[in-house]
């Protein structure tokens, strides 16, 4: 495939959008929160504890109620998830991550909408999926409903 002037311009424009996103306050905040999360020994301890318990949870799920520690594992995984989610550094990171995802979803919708109103842009966010030319609410053939 030969590169046309138009395709080169599109690639350059996409790179410019990427650079703007990387330099945005949202990405800077996300990186700050990620670094803070990685440096927090307490948050890392809670994450590790949850991950280990989640592995036990997945094993217990295979056997269901017949697993010898089923009840204990079910209680512990919920307890450790709650402890992890309530950690200030984890909570701040999750909010920053959602803000970044929303920005990327908005950009995707704008690009898709610029091509056609019928373009389906999967965002995974129900606030973006209805009435914006994407998702199941727009009369497409996504197989839902």
Give 118-143 pLDDT, tens digit per residue.
888 887 766 655 444 444 444 444 44
Residues 105 and 133: beta-carbon distance below 8 Å = no
Q: Please, what's the b/e burial string for 58-87 (b: 16 or more CB within 10 A of its CB; e: otherwise)?
A: eebeeeeeebeebeebbebbeebbeebeeb
pTM, 2 dp: 0.75
Kindly report the average pLDDT of the chain as a whole number.
Answer: 86
Quote the CA–CA distance of 138 and 60 in Å, as a whole number.
40
Region 103-117: what's the mean pLDDT? 90
Q: How long a stretch of residues is the chain?
A: 145
Give 49-61 pLDDT, tens digit per residue.
999 999 999 989 9
Give 79-97 pLDDT, tens digit per residue.
999 999 999 999 999 999 9
Region 9-22: what's the mean pLDDT? 94
């Amino acid at each position: 495939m030969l590169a046309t002037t138009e395709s080169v311009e599109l690639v350059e424009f996409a790179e410019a959008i990427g650079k703007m996103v990387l330099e945005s306050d949202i990405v800077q905040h996300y990186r700050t929160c990620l670094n803070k999360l990685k440096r927090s020994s307490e948050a890392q301890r809670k994450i590790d504890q949850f991950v280990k318990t989640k592995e036990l949870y997945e094993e217990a799920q295979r056997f269901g109620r017949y697993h010898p520690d089923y009840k204990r594992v079910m209680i512990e995984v919920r307890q450790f998830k709650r402890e992890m989610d309530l950690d200030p550094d984890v909570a701040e990171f999750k909010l920053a991550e959602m803000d970044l995802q929303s920005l990327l979803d908005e950009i995707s919708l704008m690009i898709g909408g610029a091509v056609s109103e019928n373009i389906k842009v999967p965002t995974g966010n129900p606030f973006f999926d209805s009435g914006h030319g994407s998702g199941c609410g727009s009369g497409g053939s996504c197989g839902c409903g």
